[in-house]
Amino acid sequence: MRLRKLSYAGGAEITGVDLGKDLPQVVLDDIRSAWLEHLVLVFPEQEFTIEQHIRFSRQFGELEEHPLKNLQGTNYPEIFEITNEPVDGKPSETGEIGRQWHSDGAYTTRPPTGSLLHCRALPDVGGNTWFANMYMAYETLSPKLQELLAGLEVVNDVNLYYRRGNGSRSQGKVEEDSKANPPVIQPMVRTHPETGRKALFVSEAVGVRIHGMTEEESAPLLQFLFRHSTRPEFTYRHYWRRFDLVFWDNRCLQHLAPKDFDFSQVRHMCRTTLTGTPCGRVEAALG
């Protein structure tokens, strides 16, 4: 197994390993520690089946189904498919996913630990995925602001994203999602359970306001944090090759899927998602 760093902010390419095969525990342990250190691992040329993808992923934790009902896979509940191709003759629900900076499941009380995204089809250029290192985002804030953020929480609402006209979701489905996924309150700084490092936890796609403040009061600080957290020097931008498997740590990253390609060409990705630990609480529960 060989490792090559991909950027200052994170990302490492790992070659010389076939993830479709049974791997000894020492190799899996090395992968896990590289993942914790580099945040995003890229494994090129992994031309494996869905079953192999699921099998490899399971070795890093339990797999979850997508929290939004209509995005759950039908054939394989553990697989979340991202495609711009019509599905059963209907426009894809996932064609426009991830167009704003976010951390997966920040609108739930159990955000995933990480994800393993496999590229099955790719346009001739573009279709990138962009990652931002939230440890760096936190560590580069002044101590006074770090102190202030330690006492603050943010309200995340999945439907902010769709209500703003992102994604391709009908109004009925948005309402359904609202009921199933009411706004949640999350700490603005979280401590990574495995590394013990602090990471900024804000997501522009879903962050509505600071808990206890009005949207107007919250906006200046939130806007600053959204901008600051994704400064170019904190990022790694992944240029996909077909059959890359990208394994990222959702607890210390945000990511973005820019619409940087010819939409008449197919982009098709399959994701497995590692179930996280409880974090945050539902807003309504507080009354």
79 binds, among Mn ion, ligand OGA, none (CB under 5 to 8 A by kind): none
Cβ 238 to ligand OGA shortest distance, Å? 8
User: Binding segment for ligand OGA among 27-35, 97-105, 145-153, 190-198 (CB under 6 A)?
Assistant: 97-105
Site pattern 45..84 for ligand OGA (x: CB under 6 A): -------------------------------------x--
98 lies in the site for Mn ion, by CB under 5 A: yes
Nearest 5°: phi and psi at 119? -90, 120
Annotation says 53 is catalytic: no
Q: Quick check: is 102 catalytic?
A: yes
Selecting among 53, 102, 169, 190, the annotated active-site residue is 102
Pairing of strands 253-256, 129-133: antiparallel
Q: Of these partners, ligand OGA, Mn ion, none, which one is at the site of residue 9 (CB under 5 to 8 Å by kind)?
A: none
Does 66 qualify as catalytic in the annotation? no
| Among 67, 95, 98, 105, contact with ligand OGA (rule: CB under 6 A) | 98
Site string for ligand OGA, 187-206 (x = CB under 6 A): --------------------
- Does residue number 104 form part of the binding site for ligand OGA (CB under 6 A)? yes
Distance CA 40, CA 13 (A): 9
Which of Mn ion, ligand OGA, none sits in contact with 271, Cβ below 5 to 8 A by type? ligand OGA
Taken in order 66, 68, 71, 77, is the CA torsion positive or negative?
A: positive
List the 153-156 sheet strands across, edge first: 207-210, 153-156, 184-187, 281-282
- The answer to whether 254 and 103 have CB atoms below 8 angstroms apart is yes
192 as an active site residue: the answer is: no
Q: Which is nearer to ligand OGA, 218 or 273 (CB)?
A: 273
What's the chain's length in residues? 287
Instruction: Report in angstroms how near the CB of residue 68 gets to ligand OGA at its nearest.
Output: 12
Residue 257 lies near ligand OGA (rule: CB under 6 A): yes
Catalytic entry in 66, 104, 169, 268: 104
**Residue in 118, 190, 255, 268 binding ligand OGA, rule: CB under 6 A:** 255
Interacting residues with Mn ion (CB under 5 A): 98, 104
Interacting residues with ligand OGA (CB under 6 A): 82, 97-98, 104, 115, 117, 129, 255, 257, 269, 271
List active site positions. Answer: 102, 104, 255, 271
